[in-house]
Amino acid sequence: MTDLSPPPEPVRRSARTSALPWIVGLGLAAVVGALLFVGGYLAGGSGSASGCTAPDDSFAAFCEAYDRLQDEYVDDLDPEKLAEGAIRGMFQYGVEDPYSGYMPPEQYQQALGDLSGAFGGIGAEMAVSNTEDPADLAACTEFTSTCRLVVVAPLDESPAEKAGLQAGDFVLAVDGESVNGSAMNDEITKIRGEPGTDVTLTIERDGREPFDVTITRDEIVLQEVETRLIDDHVGYIGLNGFSAPASEQFAAGLQELLDQGADRIVFDLRDNPGGYIDAAQQIASQFVNDGLIFTQESADNDVKRYESTGEGIATDPELPLVVLVNGGSASASEIVAAALQERGRATLVGEPTFGKNTVQVWGRLENDGGVRITISRWFTPEHNSVAPDGVQPDIDAARADDTPPEVDPVLDAALEFLADQTVADDEGSPRPSESPSARWELPAVVGIVAPRPIC
């Protein structure tokens, strides 16, 4: 996902914009979630008694079917559902592009909030936990008595934290309605809302009697960047998404690591589903001083070149850089990973990336829903396409199914590689890295499904 225009308004602002942001790959789940049933085209007009006007002869059969439904169907019909079904079907069966599609109003607003980096909510990271078989995450397609909605952690200084929500809390109901039978996106949408309004969560904690927690929503600003110093000199920086504030947050986090004495960098793009194009350009430019980052090419052979901004703070080739990738690294993540690899600036460690090289334009519809339409493709500096095979890592590493959650073999492989690199210290002499010691302090949650759902 990616935007060439100013970022969309946060959800808390009711103002709507007609600007069409250029976007590459939102979350992988949102890409397929909006594609459903039916086919056709519905337009107001006076071409028939029902008001269905065919834009050309090929739509005559659709209007005929619409007229017959209106005249003959035994029960009352909802015109809005008919119209929404026609839009969905037009994309699913007419376009046959998994990245173009229709988003109903609630989903569109949630997606805009994720991209803008700000939305109305309580400020808590949620997940799914399979309490019966923690390793069997595939079984948790919806919430049940064993596939449960759990709080990973409240964000610092958030309404959720102030209300006393804790890591490991199970959410049984939202505003009195059980979560069972619903999916993660359904509950995230319910918990989010206008700042200043209340939402009540029914909580189970440590097996005790459930209780209600009422939380007043506020504006939540996503923190896309995670940093820490490993062995006092290896800087780790993880990026969760390419939303509107991502590039500024990334620059600040990277600068902090350098100020703390980091002489090697691990840049984690695993499970990063993408975001704005300009964020990808700016973040890649932190490590590449000049030259091409990627190109964007439209159907009419119009080519737009995205060069380094020349404002990077870690462009010194003597600063070793490793980028971590996997099959969840998509779109804007692949732009950055491919650019750093092909420009000779980074070594990639992990698994092949997702393999998406298309660009979508987003736009709001009259019903406050939205559409995604593929309008171009992007290519690496050497004019390679990442579709369908993805960006290939230089060093293969992966987490096995039986790997304990506190162990990160991909990060360990990166640190092992960096241990063999030499860098100049403040006096100009090289020194080797210390041995790897990369173990995370993880929340008390096992079996997480979906990338960082924040409400």
User: Mind telling me the catalytic residues?
Assistant: 331, 356
Tokens 């590493």 sit at which residue? 397
DSSP alpha helix (H) spans, 173-245: 184-191
Q: Say whether 178 sits in a helix, a strand or coil.
A: strand
Could you tell me where the beta strands, DSSP code E, fall in 217-274? 218-221, 225-230, 234-239, 264-268
Residue of 29, 27, 30, 60 lying closest to 43 (CA atoms): 60
Q: How far lies 261's CA from each of 156, 269, 319, in Å?
A: 26, 22, 12
* Number of Cα atoms under 13 Å in the Cβ half of residue 303: 10
Measured distance CA(376)–CA(387) in Å, rounded = 13
Place of tokens 């070594």: 347
Give the single-character DSSP code of 237: E
Q: How many CB atoms lie within 10 A of CB 249?
A: 22
Q: How far is CA 182 from CA 147, 172, 185, 203, in A?
A: 11, 11, 8, 17
* Distance in angstroms (rounded) separating the CA atoms of residues 258 and 262: 5
H/E segment holding residue 86? helix 79-89
Single-letter amino acid code for the residue at 231: D
> What is the distance between the alpha carbons of residues 211 and 38, in angstroms, rounded to a whole number?
42
